[in-house]
């Protein structure tokens, strides 16, 4: 388990991609390969399941599988986990379980504005 995230955190925190197989399944072997590559590049920490668009494609169990996989290989570096999910209870559960798994912190992204044809739709 790593230390919890504080304001003293510094360095390069990679925004890690979540790889999938050609069939659309989570690619755990590629997660290992990418994690090792990032470590070899000298990252100070990881951010997972953020705003790159893949988090909504995963079940909560799959998200936790990614977290456990990276935390287990991160060699003590901090791992910060995006916990966006449908429903507040799902967000709470994912955040709680990510922290138990050894995450240093979680990210809860703000809601995106609705889009239509590349334009932002103003809500009234």
94-115 pLDDT tens trace: 999 999 999 999 998 766 655 5
pLDDT number for residue 121? 52
pLDDT for the residue numbered 105 = 94
Return the number of other C-beta atoms located less than 10 Å from residue 25's C-beta: 9
Q: Is the pTM of this model over 0.75?
A: yes
Q: Measured between alpha carbons, how far is 99 from 108 in angstroms, rounded to an integer?
A: 13
Q: With 0-12 CB in 10 A as exposed, 13-18 as middle and 19+ as buried, what is 103? A: buried
Residues 56-90: b if buried by 16+ CB within 10 A, e if exposed: eebeeebbbbbbebbbebbeebbbbbbbbbeeeee
Residue 118 has what pLDDT? 58
Give the mean pLDDT of the chain: 86
pLDDT at 67 over 60: yes
- Per-residue pLDDT band for 88 (boundaries 50, 70, 90) equals confident
Would you state the pLDDT for residue 85?
76
């Amino acid at each position: 388990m790593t230390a919890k995230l504080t304001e003293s955190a510094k360095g390069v925190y990679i925004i890690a991609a979540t790889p999938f197989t050609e069939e659309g399944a989570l690619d755990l072997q590629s997660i290992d390969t990418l994690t090792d590559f990032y470590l070899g590049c000298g990252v100070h920490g990881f951010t997972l399941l953020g705003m790159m668009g893949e988090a909504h494609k995963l079940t909560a169990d799959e998200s936790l599988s990614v977290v456990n996989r990276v935390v287990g290989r991160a060699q003590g570096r901090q791992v910060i986990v995006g916990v966006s999910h449908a429903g507040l209870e799902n967000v709470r559960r994912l955040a709680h379980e990510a922290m138990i798994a050894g995450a240093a912190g979680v990210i809860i992204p703000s809601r995106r504005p609705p889009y239509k044809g590349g334009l932002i739709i103003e809500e009234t």
